[in-house]
Amino acid sequence: MPCRPAVSITEFPVSGPGAGPYGITSGPDGALWFTMVHHGRIGRITPDGDTTSHRLEPDTGGPSLIAAGPDGALWFTEFRGHRIGRIGTAGEITSFPLPTPDAGPFGIVAGPDDALWFTEAGADRVGRITTDGRVTEFPLPVTGAFPSAIASGPDDRLWFTMNQANAIGAVTCDGAVTVHALPTPAAAPVGITAGGDGALWFVEIGAGRIGRITTDGRIDEYDLPDPSCRPHAITAGADGDCWFTEWGANRVGRITPDGRIDEYGLPSPSSEPHGIVLGPDGALWTALETGAVARMDAG
């Protein structure tokens, strides 16, 4: 069996320990953009570590996940502020309040229709916002589902985790929703991504597993070595593997399309890794809630 490549990890401090770097994405400007959930800021870091940040008004909205939009800007959710935000690469910020009270937007992704799609964890809905701010909301056929992360699938549907319904959902661009129940009770899925193999990959924070679902609904699950590691976010890497964070175990892991798992400890103890993304430099980047961003280079 061939040896797996080593991974070197570099951490860049980006905030104080209370700011809570959380979601992270690759921007159109060759930098990484991330949210600071507790301080109400959007940060930017270049691959060589230069950092700037921009304060939201008000700064109590809880910016959560962030994605690159089709318009050359970054779009993010404000879980407590019940808004969708847009920030241009020069730092100009626009906010769009949602029509449903206490919607709790969380996941966000660019869709196949040149709009942004997002989950409403507090309202059992999936939303769509155009780049000029027009919002449409689609109700889910499940109550108390807590829809969380969302990804654009290879079938032109948006795929999302239903954390409290223990299911994976898929929605077409005209709002038709399909629900796939997970075989493991209390799996509590959170992060989801489109893999390089044409399937969707997701993490089960409650069960300590990585899941895979095909576009026709076939589900496979892979046990992690530590069932209490609390996997949180997942992204597709350039190597064909998927990479994920273990929020409760201070590690980053990778899983091959056939289910082989490797894990890598982070240098700082108890750093609480959350979002993870493939960067413009080909490295994997993760936001550490304790105040840093880490770059992982596979050798």
List, for residues 174-230, the tens digit of each pLDDT value: 999 999 999 999 999 999 999 999 999 999 999 999 999 999 999 999 999 999 999
Residue 62: is its pLDDT beyond 60?
yes
Cβ pair 205, 188 in contact under 8 A: yes
Instruction: Establish if 74 belongs to a structural domain.
Output: yes
Is position 289 annotated in a ligand binding site?
A: yes
pTM of the model: 0.97
Instruction: Establish if 58 belongs to a structural domain.
Output: yes
Instruction: Establish if 1 belongs to a structural domain.
Output: no
Q: What whole-number distance in Å separates Cα of residue 114 and Cα of residue 287?
A: 27
pLDDT digit string (tens) for 63-113?
999 999 999 999 999 999 999 999 999 999 999 999 999 999 999 999 999
Percent of the chain whose pLDDT exceeds 90: 97
Q: What is the mean pLDDT of the chain?
A: 96
- Containing structural domain, residue 283: 15-298
pLDDT digit string (tens) for 127-178?
999 999 999 999 999 999 999 999 999 999 999 999 999 999 999 999 999 9
Number of helical (H) and strand (E) elements in the chain, helices listed first: 0, 28
Is position 232 annotated in a ligand binding site?
A: yes
How many domains is the chain partitioned into structurally? 1
Residue 21: is its pLDDT beyond 90?
yes
Q: Is the dihedral of CA 59, 251, 120, 25 positive or negative?
A: positive
Instruction: Establish if 226 belongs to a structural domain.
Output: yes
Q: What is the mean pLDDT of residues 56-60?
A: 97
Instruction: Establish if 68 belongs to a structural domain.
Output: yes
Q: What whole-number distance in Å separates Cα of residue 6 and Cα of residue 262?
A: 10
Both tokens of 259, joined, read 């289910």
Active-site residues, by number, are 274
Cα angle, residue 120 at apex, residues 115 and 121 outer, rounded to 5°: 145
Give the side-chain half-sphere CA count within 13 A for 179.
17
Percent of the chain whose pLDDT exceeds 70: 98
| CATH number of the structural domain spanning residue 135 | 2.130.10.10
Is position 92 annotated in a ligand binding site?
A: no
